[in-house]
């Protein structure tokens, strides 16, 4: 602990320094100053806990020094030592928050007693501050520990009693009879470190829940488990509130709306089984539909009779060189099924099986060996897993048709990965593209492609996608009368607000202003 003694009289300062038993009170350093200016310099260079200060020190005063300290955020205690007994002096000292006011001449024992009381107050404030910081630290960590506790329970299947007891110690009160509602949230883009915090904030805003009635647990990449609990909760209102959460997520520029799979209202002992069902529903959403799926909504398409296209006709068209027609029909068929909400894992598996059979039939007509295709052209695991994702299936269709077209056209100049990426972006400018989409389309690792693209193009892949979209948007704004909202959708921005922000960041003006100036 450091003390500063300030007085414009040398003998007064030295008398206080020599007359008080500082070491017995735990004071480590004693600093001195003979004017307000000197005192400020000492305070700026050193951490001072206690100030003993005269009041009248022309051209300034001890009051001015204390006011300056408070403006700088210094909370050192202050004891005024003065020969002025006027009431106004004492009242101003109290108003400024000084600890004590001692009239000179004073005995050193009186000064020492005042210093001891001030030190006791400083130590009390320190203990209070530490306790508050510890409490805040524990509150923050208890949430993390509670989330880790849920994750461990779901993975290991430990005893329910132990699980609930540990949650109770962490401030989460759930009993055997507490109703809970699990929700699996799927984020449709590369995750960021603050996604969990963002979800918590949105849930708290729209569902009125606080940390003692909800838990957000990170699962695999891009997936979170939200557990809501409370006996008086109105679960019927959950759907509309989640719709608002989903919409705000998109409006905040965090990407496409997440998908929320709402589980049944259950007791804690059914959480593990309920999570399995939610995972199954998520895995079946191969088209990655956004929205809120309640327990009563079976997005699985039951009793639906699929009408598959005539793929033998596609085979004949491919063999005769009509590759563009087959590509257009196949992609249009998949798009129609997706927009109708008919794409699930069962549908995609059947389509995958029929399509690859057609492709192999055509490939054999060109005397192509199957293992050559997957060794040189297409990752075999991606081929096998194409039915697990709508986007992967679209990628496989594009590859298969383009492969046949190349065989018909003969050898052609090989494109570099960056050239392939640029071509893919320009051909799919109407999609909500992310770097992972581009990398997947050209069968490359996303991080490796990003580094390669930055090196060759001098701009990041993410920025290039935005620049290309804005280039097309500028052309549409200049050369057409399309509404700005329609222009936004044509360059892959379903959210007009997000498009307007991106356009203004790149052009320095809104889309409407740009159209007016470049008409």
Q: What is the pLDDT along the chain (519 residues), one digit of tens a residue?
A: 899 999 988 989 999 998 988 988 888 899 999 999 999 999 999 999 999 999 888 888 999 999 999 898 888 999 988 887 777 777 888 788 888 888 888 888 889 999 999 999 888 888 888 777 665 666 566 667 777 888 888 887 778 888 888 888 777 778 888 888 888 888 876 545 566 677 777 776 776 555 445 667 766 667 788 787 754 445 556 667 778 887 888 777 777 778 888 888 888 888 888 888 888 888 888 877 877 887 765 544 444 556 788 888 998 888 888 899 999 999 999 999 888 888 888 888 889 888 888 888 887 776 666 556 655 566 666 777 787 888 888 988 988 888 888 777 654 445 788 888 898 898 888 888 888 888 888 878 888 889 999 999 999 999 999 999 999 999 888 878 888 888 898 888 888 788 888 899 888 999 989 988 887
Structure tokens given for 408: 């018909």
Q: Is 302 helix (H, G, I), strand (E, B) or coil?
A: coil
Report which of 279, 29, 296, 320 is spatially closest to residue 154, judged by C-alpha positions: 279
Q: Is 392 helix (H, G, I), strand (E, B) or coil?
A: helix
Residue pair 4/48 in contact (Cβ under 8 Å)? The answer is yes
> How many CA atoms does the CB half-sphere of 394 hold within 13 Å?
22
Structure tokens given for 150: 């849920």
CB within 8 A of 360, min separation 6: which ones? 370
The whole-angstrom separation of Cα 89 and Cα 51 is 17
Residue pair 261/288 in contact (Cβ under 8 Å)? The answer is no
Facing residues of 51 across strands? 4, 78
How far lies 87's CA from each of 66, 101, 365, in Å? 18, 11, 109
Structure tokens given for 319: 């063999």
Query: Exposed (0-12), middle (13-18) or buried (19+): which is 26, by Cβ within 10 Å?
Result: exposed
């Amino acid at each position: 602990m450091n003390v500063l003694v300030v007085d414009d009289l040398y003998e007064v300062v030295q008398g206080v320094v020599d007359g008080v038993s500082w070491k017995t009170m735990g004071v480590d350093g004693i600093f001195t100053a003979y004017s307000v200016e000197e005192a400020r310099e000492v305070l700026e260079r050193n951490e001072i806990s206690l100030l003993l200060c005269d009041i009248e020190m022309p051209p300034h005063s001890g009051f001015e020094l204390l006011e300056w300290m408070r403006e700088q955020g210094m909370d050192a205690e202050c004891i005024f030592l003065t020969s002025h007994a006027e009431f106004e002096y004492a009242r101003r000292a109290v108003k400024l928050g000084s600890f004590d006011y001692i009239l000179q001449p004073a005995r050193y024992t009186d000064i020492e007693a005042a210093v001891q009381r001030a030190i006791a107050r400083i130590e009390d404030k320190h203990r209070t501050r530490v306790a508050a910081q510890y409490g805040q630290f524990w509150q923050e960590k208890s949430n993390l520990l509670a989330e880790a506790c849920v994750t461990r329970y779901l993975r290991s299947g430990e005893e329910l009693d132990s699980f609930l007891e540990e949650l109770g110690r962490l401030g989460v009160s759930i009993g055997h009879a507490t109703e809970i509602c699990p929700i699996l949230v799927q984020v449709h883009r590369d995750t960021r470190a603050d996604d969990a915090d963002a979800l918590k904030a949105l849930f708290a805003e729209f569902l009125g829940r606080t940390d003692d009635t909800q838990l957000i647990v990170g699962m695999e990449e891009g997936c979170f488990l939200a557990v809501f609990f409370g006996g008086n909760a109105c679960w019927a209102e959950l759907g509309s509130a989640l719709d608002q959460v989903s919409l705000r997520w998109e409006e905040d520029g965090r990407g496409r709306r997440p998908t929320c799979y709402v589980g049944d209202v259950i007791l804690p002992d059914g959480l593990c089984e309920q999570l399995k069902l939610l995972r199954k529903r998520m895995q079946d959403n191969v088209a990655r539909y956004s929205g809120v799926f309640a327990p009563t909504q079976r997005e699985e398409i039951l009793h639906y009779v699929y009408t598959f296209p005539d793929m033998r006709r596609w085979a004949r068209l491919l063999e005769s060189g009509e590759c563009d027609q087959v590509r257009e029909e196949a992609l249009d068929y998949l798009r129609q099924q997706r927009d109708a909400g008919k794409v699930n894992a069962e549908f995609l598996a059947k389509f995958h099986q029929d399509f690859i059979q057609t492709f192999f039939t055509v490939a054999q007509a060109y005397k192509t060996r199957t293992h050559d295709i997957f060794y040189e052209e297409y990752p075999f695991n991606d081929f096998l897993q194409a039915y697990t994702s709508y986007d992967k299936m679209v990628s496989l269709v594009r590859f298969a048709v383009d492969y046949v077209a190349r065989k018909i056209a003969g050898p052609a100049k090989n494109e570099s990965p960056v050239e392939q990426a640029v071509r893919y972006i320009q051909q799919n400018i109407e999609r909500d593209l992310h770097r992972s989409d581009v990398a997947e389309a050209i069968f490359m690792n996303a991080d490796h492609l990003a580094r390669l693209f930055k090196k060759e193009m001098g701009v990041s892949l993410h920025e290039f996608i935005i620049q290309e979209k804005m280039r097309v948007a500028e052309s549409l704004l200049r050369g057409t009368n399309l509404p700005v909202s329609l222009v936004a959708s044509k360059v892959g921005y379903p959210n007009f607000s997000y498009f307007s922000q991106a356009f203004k960041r790149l052009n320095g003006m809104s889309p409407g202003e740009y159209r007016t100036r470049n008409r």
